[in-house]
């Protein structure tokens, strides 16, 4: 299933607020930083449910899956069966 990256970004921001890594004044700024890292110019406005996570790992795993899917479509045309595409199936 495709990952909704906009949704995952909001989840991560919520995690950051919950763990006091960021404050509410940092939210817009941090969203932009994450978008930059992910190479996104645009995201959708989404609403998320509150959740309590002890680790950001589930969110990061989805983001990675998203990045690999993006890379996968791109790489299939170039070099099918490479290390990266192999690893996609482990995610």
Partner 1 sequence: MDDGVDAWDLFDTKIMGCLIGRPSEIISTFFNIYRRDKKEATDYFYNLSKASNYIRTDRIAKDMKWKTQTEYGELDITINLSKPEKDPRAIAAEKNLKTTSYPKCLLCKENEGYSGRINHPARQNHRIIPITINNENWFFQYSPYVYYNEHCIVFKGEHEPMKISRETFCRLLDFVEQFPHYFIGSNADLSIVGGSILSHDHFQGGNYEFAMTKAPVEKEYAIGYGKKVKGYRIKWPMSVIRLEAVEKCDLIESAYQIYLKWKNYSDVDAGIISHTNGIPHNTVTPIARMVDGRFQLDLVLRNNRTSEEYPYGIFHPHQELHHIKKENIGLIEVMGLAVLPARLNNEFKELTDYLVNPHKLLEIDKNEKLIKHKEWAIEINRKYGPLMHDQVEEVLKNEIGQKFLKVLEDSGVFKRDVEGQNAFDKFMESVNRDSKE
Q: How far is the CB of 54 from partner 1 (least distance, A)?
A: 7
Nearer to partner 1, 33 or 48 (CB): 33
Torsion angle in degrees (nearest 10) through CA of 31, 36, 38, 39: 130
Q: Are 35 and 9 in contact (CB under 8 A)?
A: yes
Q: How far is the CB of 58 from partner 1 (least distance, A)?
A: 9
Nearer to partner 1, 3 or 34 (CB): 34
How many C-beta atoms surround the C-beta of residue 13 within 10 A? 21
Q: How far is the CB of 71 from partner 1 (least distance, A)?
A: 11
CA distance 26 to 43: 18
Q: Give the interface with partner 1 as residue ranges (CB under 8 A).
A: 12, 16, 19-22, 30, 33-34, 37-38, 54-57, 60, 63-64, 67, 84, 87
């Amino acid at each position: 299933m495709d990952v909704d990256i906009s949704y995952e970004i909001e989840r991560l921001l919520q995690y950051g607020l919950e763990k006091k890594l960021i404050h509410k004044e940092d939210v817009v700024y941090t969203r932009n930083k994450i978008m930059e890292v992910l190479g996104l110019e645009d995201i959708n406005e989404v609403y998320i449910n509150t959740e309590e996570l002890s680790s950001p790992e589930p969110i990061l795993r989805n983001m990675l899956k998203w990045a690999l899917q993006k890379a996968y479509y791109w790489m299939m045309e170039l070099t099918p069966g490479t290390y990266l595409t192999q690893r996609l199936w482990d995610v």
